[in-house]
């Protein structure tokens, strides 16, 4: 049972009683409209050792991950707005006691043919003072039964105890066979047919990642049309199957020489086909939202993959306007994290394959077990390998173009803009032959040179400010830099800013301090911190920090001296992220 201040997990003894109340124990598909963390579903049905499919609705989004981890599909958040009930054979529920009658009536409304078991406050049935309770009582009298139980929420297995008596209600809704075949069997799957202007109401997402209202309206209306077409197709197929069965077998079937055609007009067969087609429509509809230009245009390829990794959970939701807005709001709420991940992805790409692309500096002295060095990208030039081409090619391959597009998206983000005015993909497409012969050509954020024989692209940043912005943002995320500039003194920032000038001396000192084994093979601390085991990484960091300390001491730089606020250096970093606007304005 869920709802504001009404989360009472169903005790296991009561859950077993609820499941045992179903008369038909052949479960096609089950819905739990107020799932909480799935306590009511623990004794759920199994077949051949596997749990049968159970869909959940839960208004508290924080519980969705718990439900999915237990193997349940989350198909919605607000049951009272849910429409897709026709595909279920059973609905089991422990709704908020204050809204019990309303939730059972909703379940009866959307169910096409099947059973409902509901755990209600006994007073909901005993004291039918409202129209909703009176209607519920008539349904019980005409289509079901009720059992009253005492102290079910007061036993040892109750997580939250309450002395309230409960009513265990069972209802059976039956549709005639003729209505199955000739009636409107998919009505409960269709969304309310409102005009496009009314679909979104007055709600607008105040953000550039929001999709235009017309796009959302049209997508929902298109799903409505597709659902109606599916309804007609399933009805026609079921009708044809029924008539074929009524006509009897063919001569070949009667003589045993042919394969008997199956009757696909049963209620269960129709439900299975409805679910299959409706599931496919939802999958396609959600994919259109996920792949829309307004969502993907600002995301790097890696960020897009991370977003798509959640698609299995998203596509289970009913395709409604509120759910679409909820999905978009989730992207917006995570935008700071998404932007940070994009910047870190490009930073790692630059530093991963070519050691000369980055330089080291002494990392901020935090509470970590071992102090480490920070890395920053060079402001003059960096090189990326792996982009070769044959003499017959007229451009880069798709993977290389995607990498260039990611660079432009991230540096446009760092620049506070939506996109690069002159993108690197267009530079390579329009000037590929000039680049092949060694010309240096510029885009918005980089001049580039291309060496097709060795497959390298040389990037020459046009703005040291944007490179510094990336270095600082990644440095704070990796805890190489303090979260606030004033937490470190002048010496720290001096060595950070002079890292490129100190790089040659640092590598010379590393070479001197690296020990030799009995075979006179150097221990490579740079390799160790990237690829070694835990002990090798610790040893590599220790050697590198010792070498950096020696270099800084020889130049009279103390990276730990003159902290303006000694206490602040002990604070834990909260990881707060600037917005895109803040980042654009930051120095």
| pLDDT tens for each residue of the chain, 587 residues long | 554 445 567 888 889 999 999 998 888 889 999 988 998 998 888 766 677 889 999 988 888 888 988 889 888 888 988 877 777 889 999 998 889 999 999 999 888 788 999 999 999 999 989 999 999 999 999 999 999 988 777 666 565 566 788 999 999 998 654 444 433 433 433 433 333 334 334 434 444 444 555 677 777 878 877 877 887 787 778 778 777 777 777 667 666 655 555 556 566 677 778 778 888 888 888 888 877 756 677 788 888 888 777 777 777 788 887 778 777 777 777 777 888 889 999 999 999 877 789 999 998 876 554 577 899 999 999 999 999 888 888 899 999 999 999 999 999 989 988 889 999 999 999 999 999 999 999 999 999 999 999 999 999 999 999 999 999 999 999 889 988 777 788 889 999 999 999 999 998 988 887 755 555 556 788 888 878 888 888 888 888 888 999 999 999 988 876 444 443 433 433 344 444 444 433 33
E strand or H helix that includes residue 75:
strand 73-76
Any domain includes 179: no
Same domain assignment for residues 204 and 152: no
Write out the residue range of the structural domain in which residue 220 sits: 187-249+264-333
Any domain includes 357: yes
10 Å CB burial of residue 534 (0-12, 13-18, 19+) is: exposed
Query: SS3 helix, strand, coil % of the chain, rounded to 5?
Result: 50, 10, 40
Could you tell me the CA-to-CA distances from 220 to 77, 279, 406, 473 in Å, in that order? Answer: 18, 15, 31, 40
- What angle in degrees, to the nearest 10, is found between the helix axes of 321-333 and 335-352? 50
Answer left, alpha or beta for residue 3, where phi above 0 means left and psi between -120 and 50 means alpha: left
E strand or H helix that includes residue 282:
helix 267-290
Same domain assignment for residues 401 and 522: yes
Domain limit, last residue, from 174, 204, 230: 174
Which has the closest alpha carbon to 446: 479, 419, 414, 411?
A: 411
Compute the distance between CA of residue 172 and CA of residue 483 in angstroms, rounded to an integer: 61
Same domain assignment for residues 328 and 349: no
E strand or H helix that includes residue 241:
helix 213-247
Distance of alpha carbon 507 from its chain centroid, rounded? 43
Same domain assignment for residues 129 and 195: no
Same domain assignment for residues 63 and 199: no
Any domain includes 32: yes
Any domain includes 422: yes
**Three-state SS for 50?**
strand
Same domain assignment for residues 30 and 124: yes
> What are 454's two structure tokens?
């060795």
Any domain includes 180: no
pTM of the model: 0.60
Contact 561, 491 (CB under 8 A): yes
Which has the closest alpha carbon to 304: 291, 286, 317?
A: 291
Same domain assignment for residues 464 and 487: yes
Same domain assignment for residues 514 and 471: yes
Total domains in the chain come to 3
Which has the closest alpha carbon to 341: 477, 449, 212?
A: 477
Compute the distance between CA of residue 531 and CA of residue 573 in angstroms, rounded to an integer: 27
Compute the distance between CA of residue 46 and CA of residue 381 in angstroms, rounded to an integer: 62
Domain limit, last residue, from 316, 333, 350: 333
Contacts of 259 (CB under 8 A, 6+ apart): 253
Same domain assignment for residues 525 and 441: yes
> What are 418's two structure tokens?
């939506």
> What are 436's two structure tokens?
């092949």
Any domain includes 428: yes
Domain limit, last residue, from 174, 197, 226: 174
Any domain includes 363: yes
């Amino acid at each position: 049972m869920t709802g504001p201040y009404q989360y009472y997990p169903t005790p296991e003894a009561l859950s077993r009683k609820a499941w045992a109340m179903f008369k038909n124990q052949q479960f096609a598909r089950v819905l739990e409209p107020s799932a909480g963390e799935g306590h009511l579903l623990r004794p759920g049905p199994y077949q051949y050792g596997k749990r049968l499919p159970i869909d959940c609705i839960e208004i508290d989004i924080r519980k969705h991950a718990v439900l999915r981890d237990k193997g349940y599909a989350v198909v919605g958040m607000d049951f009272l707005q849910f429409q897709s009930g026709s595909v279920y054979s059973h609905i089991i529920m422990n709704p908020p006691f204050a809204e019990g009658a309303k939730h059972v009536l909703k379940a009866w409304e959307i169910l096409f043919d099947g059973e409902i078991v509901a755990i209600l406050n006994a007073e909901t049935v005993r004291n039918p003072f409202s129209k909703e309770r009176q209607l519920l009582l008539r349904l019980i009298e005409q289509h079901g039964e009720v059992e009253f139980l005492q102290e079910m929420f007061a036993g040892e297995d109750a997580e939250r105890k309450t002395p309230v008596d409960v009513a265990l209600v069972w209802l059976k809704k039956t549709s005639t066979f003729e209505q199955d075949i000739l009636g409107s069997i998919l009505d409960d799957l269709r969304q309310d047919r409102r005009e496009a202007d009314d679909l979104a109401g007055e709600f607008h997402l105040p953000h550039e990642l929001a999709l235009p209202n017309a796009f959302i309206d049209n997508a929902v209306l298109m799903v409505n049309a597709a659902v109606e077409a599916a309804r007609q197709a399933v009805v026609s197929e079921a009708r044809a199957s029924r008539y074929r069965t009524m006509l009897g077998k063919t001569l070949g079937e009667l003589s045993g020489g042919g394969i008997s055609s199956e009757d696909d007009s049963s209620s269960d067969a129709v439900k299975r086909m409805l679910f299959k087609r409706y599931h496919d429509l939802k999958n396609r509809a959600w994919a259109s939202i996920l792949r829309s230009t307004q969502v993907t245009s600002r995301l790097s390829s890696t960020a897009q993959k991370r977003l798509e990794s959640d698609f299995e959970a998203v596509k289970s939701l009913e395709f409604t306007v509120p759910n679409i807005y909820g999905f978009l709001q989730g992207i917006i709420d995570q935008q700071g994290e998404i932007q940070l991940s994009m910047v870190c992805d490009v930073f790692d790409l630059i530093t991963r394959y070519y050691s000369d692309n980055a330089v080291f500096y002494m990392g901020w002295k935090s509470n970590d077990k071992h102090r480490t060095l920070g890395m920053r990208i060079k402001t003059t030039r960096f090189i990326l390998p792996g982009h070769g081409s044959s003499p017959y090619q007229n451009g880069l391959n798709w993977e290389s173009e995607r990498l260039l597009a990611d660079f432009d998206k991230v540096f446009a983000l760092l620049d506070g803009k939506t996109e690069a005015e002159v993108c690197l993909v267009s530079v390579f497409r329009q000037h590929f032959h000039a680049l092949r012969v060694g010309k240096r050509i510029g885009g918005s954020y980089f001049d580039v040179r291309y060496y097709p024989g060795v497959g390298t692209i040389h990037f020459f940043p046009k703005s040291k400010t944007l490179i510094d912005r990336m270095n600082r943002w990644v440095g704070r995320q990796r805890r190489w830099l303090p979260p606030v500039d004033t937490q470190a003194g002048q010496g720290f920032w001096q060595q950070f800013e002079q890292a490129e000038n100190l790089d040659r001396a640092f590598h010379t000192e590393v070479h001197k301090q690296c020990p030799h084994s009995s075979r006179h093979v150097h221990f490579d601390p740079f390799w160790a911190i990237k690829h070694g085991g835990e002990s090798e990484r610790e040893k590599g960091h220790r050697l590198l920090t010792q070498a950096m300390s020696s270099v800084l001491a020889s130049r009279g730089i103390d990276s730990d001296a003159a902290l303006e606020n000694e206490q602040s250096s002990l604070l834990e970093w909260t990881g707060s992220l600037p917005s895109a606007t803040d980042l654009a304005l930051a120095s």
